[in-house]
Homo-oligomer: A and B are copies of this chain.
Amino acid sequence: MPVQQRRIQILETATVLIAERGFWGVTLRDVAIMCGITEAGVLHHFSSKAKLLIAVLEYRDEADFVALARLLGIERGDIERTPLPVSLRELCTALITRNAGQPEIVRLYSVLNAEALEPSHPAHAYFQDRETMALSLFRRAMPENDEAIHMSRQILAAMDGLQLRWLRTPDDVDLVPEWENFFERAFL
């Protein structure tokens, strides 16, 4: 298998396993067996289990940014602009719509986000940075005032929390309309 294809196979396999059992519940051996290679084969591409985890997250993040820009009808680079060229509501709806289509990925982030609260977790710093990045993204889509810090934090909280309900009982919770209902109640 070509190098790039093998790398992606390992990343996709690790994504599924870590979503199911968390970082601590997966060994490099588990990943290797599911890829049909040896543990040394995995280590050839990713030099440690922690490095594999960070590679999984970065691989997913970039895919999400590209999909988000497409949903918003903007360029990938526009997501870094201040102010954002879309409204807060458009931004939120696009994020939730993207997530509604990939429950396994949202589950991966939900498990790791909780696990990585522990300072010794290898993704601890990554999730701290991701929190800062997400809050900044929301704030660049809203007016700057005393409530902005609270509102950005509460939007992130509302999304995380609602996604947990949806992942637990997907038959009861229709994620996108439930989000719109929440947004209109709290953030309009």
Contacts and interface: CB of A to CB of B under 8 A. Distances in A.
Interface of A: 20-22, 24-25, 107, 110-111, 113-115, 117-118, 120, 127-128, 131, 150-151, 153-154, 156-162, 164-165, 167-169, 173, 178, 181-182, 185-187
Number of copies of this protein chain within its complex: 2
Contact of A153 (B24, B113, B159, B162): B162
- Give the dominant DSSP class at A's interface: helix
B150 A178 contact: yes
Closest 4 A-B residue pairs measured CB to CB? A157-B161, A24-B25, A161-B161, A186-B186
B160 A154 contact: no
Contact of A160 (B111, B115, B161): B161
Q: Which of A113, A117, A162, A178: most chain B CB closer than 10 A?
A: A117
A154 B150 contact: no
Contacts of A127: 168
Q: Which of A22, A167, A182: most chain B CB closer than 10 A?
A: A22
Contacts of A118: 20-21, 107
A22 B24 contact: yes
A11 B136 CA distance: 40
